[in-house]
Structure 1
Amino acid sequence: MSESPSIARVAVILAAAGSGSRAGHGLPKQYRALAGKPLIRWTVEALRRHPQIGDIVVVVDPALAAVAATLLDGTAAGPFVAGGSDRQASVLAGLESLAALAIPPDLVLIHDAARPSTSPATVDAVIAALERADGAIPALPVVDTLKQGGGGRITGTVPREGLFRAQTPQGFRFPAILEAHRLAAGRLLTDDAAVAEAAGLTVALVAGEEENFKVTSAQDLVRAERALLNRLPDIRTGQGFDVHALGAGDGVWLGGVKIPADLCLIGHSDADVALHALTDALLGAIGAGDIGQHFPPSDAQWRGVASSRFLAHAASLVAARGGAIAHVDLTIICERPKVGPHRAAMVQRIAEILSIGPERVSVKATTTERLGFTGRGEGIAAQAIATVRLP
């Protein structure tokens, strides 16, 4: 063995090139939002909590490289490497990118992008096991009775003694696994431990964790979101309120949607009173001041800008605190324009800006029965409540 794992240079290859089709339609599962944050970002941030991890090579479908880079902005993940036709070819591409570095790593961890709950303790155990073996994987013993079947009937019982469920990250001495993957090119082996075994390398087992499951199905997305939210026990709420006057124009921006009308809201930005109230609610929930502190109306750079930028900024501050947006509730107060026909579009747009599910967004509208400035049609008011969860 070469350098001790306790002081070795450790890199990660994140396998993110799969289609994730079993989780339903849309973007692959690794790019879906969970509790206000893309699944792949949860995974990278979990790895980043380990102080020994350096480079994180992300192997992606080339068509989604820009999406992955955007979702992982600020995490110091990269480079982004084009994946191959199967998982093994993709991992080999990641290994070759590390081999091309001026100083390749001593150890490499190969991890599924769809495992967002890996703990530093699991990473510690895998790295420590490389003191005595060429590779190491976390695994859980099989506790259920295993049956063989066909035609809807049991055809046999498989002894479960000595059987384990393999997890990732799977760790290896870098030169050994690189050579093993080169030798195995073209073989459809199901994980990197199998590649190592085929090359005659020794692979140790360390204790895995039930929380470190791989998101595969739509039900797993729900389970993972629940588990991630449970790690954020500090529940806070914030409220926001804003008012803008109405004037003559060609449409009113409300909730991120432009409603056709012979009116407009008057303000320094696009004057989207609904998004302004939501922005203040999020800022209030994390004690980060108000919208005027972050985007002063005296600053010319914000003149006419889309208010979606303000709301996205507030969401990024929640994410920077390691938090998640649990729910936002918005009430728009006006006589005109009519909000009802545009409510669904507003919900969808706000969910998109905040990277949360539309079921976490509520948009309501009411009037003041023609009382006050909103009742006279002189302006629109909005109030909002945001609920966030923090570590």
Structure 2
Amino acid sequence: MRPKTIAVIIVAAGKGERAAATGIPDPKQYRTIGGKPVLTRTIAAFLAVPEVTQIVTIIHPDHGDRYAALGLKDDRLLPPVVGGASRQASVLAGLKALAPARPDLVLIQDAARPFASARLIGDVIGALSQSEGALPTLPVTDTIKRSLDGTQVSTTEDRNQLFAAQTPQGFRFGQIFSAHMRAATVPRQFTDDAEIAEWAGLRVAMVAGERSNIKITHPDDFAHAERILTGDLAMETRIGTGFDVHSFEPGDHVWLGGVRIPYKFKLNGHSDSDVALHALTDAIYGAIGAGDIGVHFPPSDMQWKGAASTLFLKHAGELVAKASGRIVNLDVTIVCEGPKIAPHVPAMRTVIAETLGIASSRIAVKATTSEKLGFTGREEGIVAMASASIEVPRVD
């Protein structure tokens, strides 16, 4: 079976009047976010998908110079097409431009949605193997009221049956082209291409949309878009804490923070009993909701007898990376009467940094005594407490 040809229509024919800001004449699709025009980012999102074979952009008749100034160059980019007086007419112009090539599938994308991910685009394409149309949607979370006159509530809608539509919307080319041609002959304006498909009797599937796939419509949407680019909305910070204690037993050294320190005792435990790294490892696990050391490295498993605790710490760091997270900072406090910790702090920070692949400036190691009080004051053992601050992708 030959590979499918997949065309994309980018609808950029509007003047962007609702997003116009005082003193800024550029239509929204040509304004910049993060230093790049919105339209450039939208087109780039589809050029990044290898399955896409051609892209046509629909522009306003007055925007030829603006589009040319973008300087876009790619073999898959067709010359821009002038759009019509409505979005529906503009999409039809794009379909007519693609008709000689007769692609198998077509994706239709609003130029003002610059953040469609490769995953989202791929999901829409994938859904077309089973359905005649597909679009990303998000569940409606607000309570929706219906009003007949705009002043009084008539009824409350069942939001469990309501979904907000996004683009790209995908279709089998021949079917959506035929549906658009028919729709152009009736005295009705359709709000999106999925509505035309529904009206024409095509089956339209829903795939999971993305909160970051916003449509830039109003002036404050540009600030929203900038925050998405800088990660303020893409990531969230989580805090984990860890606590560990080990008693002393006869010996001549202790392991603390991955450093071997000569001492009159050693710490009792299944592994190397590095109380500082154990607390720190548990703090990282806690920040990403991954249990504790005992879950991943049970003391009943003899393979961890005498194991270096850097193995546990490295595993926690690998789980952060697997979750697409980032360690922001780590803080460890060691409570003991001895040994002296301060001379070894730089070495501890270095070991921790190298184990996790982060800068030592993100790591704090501190020590204190319990003023001769309690079991640490009686030199019966050592306590360590730790906290971990980690950024992970936001989950709504």
What's the TM-score bracket when you normalise by the shorter of the two chains? 0.5 to 0.7
Q: Where in structure 2 are the equivalents of 1:166-185 lying within 5 Å? A: 166-185=165-184
Cα deviation for residue 230 of structure 1 reads 2.5
Q: Residue deviations 1:344-366, cap 9 Å, x none? A: xxxxxxxxxxxxxxxxxxxxxxx
Q: Which runs of 5+ in 2 are unaligned?
A: 235-396
Structure 1 stretches lacking a partner, 5+ long: 234-391
- Show the counterpart of 1:224: 225
| More RCO (CA 8 Å, sep 6+) | 1
Give the one of 2, 15, 19 matched to 1:19.
15
1:98 aligns with 2:114: no
Q: Assess if the C-alpha contact under 8 Å between 1:98 and 1:105 holds in 2.
A: yes
Distance 2:80 2:103 in 1: 17
Structure 2 residue 45 is the aligned partner of structure 1 residue 49 = no
Distance apart, 1:22 and its partner CA: 0.7
| Aligned counterparts of 1:114 and 1:61: Cα–Cα separation in 2 | 14
1:111 is matched with: 109
Closer/same/farther in 2, CA of residues 125 and 182 from structure 1, 3 Å limit: same
Q: Give how far 1:94 is off.
A: 0.3
TM-aligned CA distance change 1:72 to 1:200, over 3 Å:
farther
What is the CA distance between 1:8 and its match in structure 2? 1.0
* Separation in 2, partners of 1:151, 1:171: 34
2:132 corresponds in structure 1 to 134
Say yes or no: does 1:86 pair with 2:86: yes
What is the CA deviation profile of residues 308-336 of structure 1, one whole-angstrom value per residue up to 9, with x for unaligned ones?
xxxxxxxxxxxxxxxxxxxxxxxxxxxxx
**Aligned equivalents of 1:204 and 1:169: distance in 2?**
13
Q: Give the AA of the match of 2:135.
A: I
Find out whether 1:124 has 2:140 as its counterpart: no
Q: Secondary structure at the match of 1:108?
A: strand
Contact 1:44 1:75 in 2 (8 A): no
Per the alignment, residue 69 of structure 1 pairs with 68
Give the partner amino acid of 2:208: A
Q: For 2:27, give the aligned amino acid.
A: P
Give the SS at the match of 2:159. coil
- Equivalents in 2 of 1:229, 1:69: separation in Å? 28
Task: Give the Cα–Cα distance (whole angstroms) in 2 for the partners of residues 173 and 129 of structure 1.
Answer: 11
**Amino acid paired to 2:142:** D
CA RMSD of aligned residues (A): 2.0
Measure how far apart 1:66 and its partner are: 2.1
1:173-224 CA-to-partner distances (Å, cap 9, x unmatched) read: 0111111100101530000001111111111111111111111000111101
Deviation at 1:33, TM superposition (A): 1.1
The Cα shift of 1:148 comes to 2.4
SS in 2 for 1:115: coil
Identity of aligned residues (%): 48
TM-score (norm 2): 0.55
Q: Which has the larger radius of gyration?
A: 2
The superposition leaves residues 100-123 of structure 1 with CA deviations (integer Å, 9 ceiling, x where unpaired) of 23xx21100000000010001111
Shift of 1:60: 0.5
* Matched AA of 1:92: L
Look up the SS of the partner of 2:161 in the other structure. coil
- Return closer, same or farther for 1:72/1:192 CA change in 2, 3 Å cut-off: farther
Question: 1:201: which partner in 2?
Answer: 202
Could you list the per-position Cα deviations for residues 6-34 of structure 1 after superposition, in whole angstroms to 9, with x for gaps in the alignment? x3111100000012111125221011011
For 1:144, give the aligned amino acid: D
Question: For 1:1-391, what aligned pairs fall within 5 Å after superposition?
Answer: 7-25=3-21, 26-76=25-75, 77-101=77-101, 104-149=102-147, 150=149, 152-186=151-185, 187-230=188-231
Deviation at 1:72, TM superposition (A): 4.5
- The TM-score with structure 1 as length reference comes to 0.55
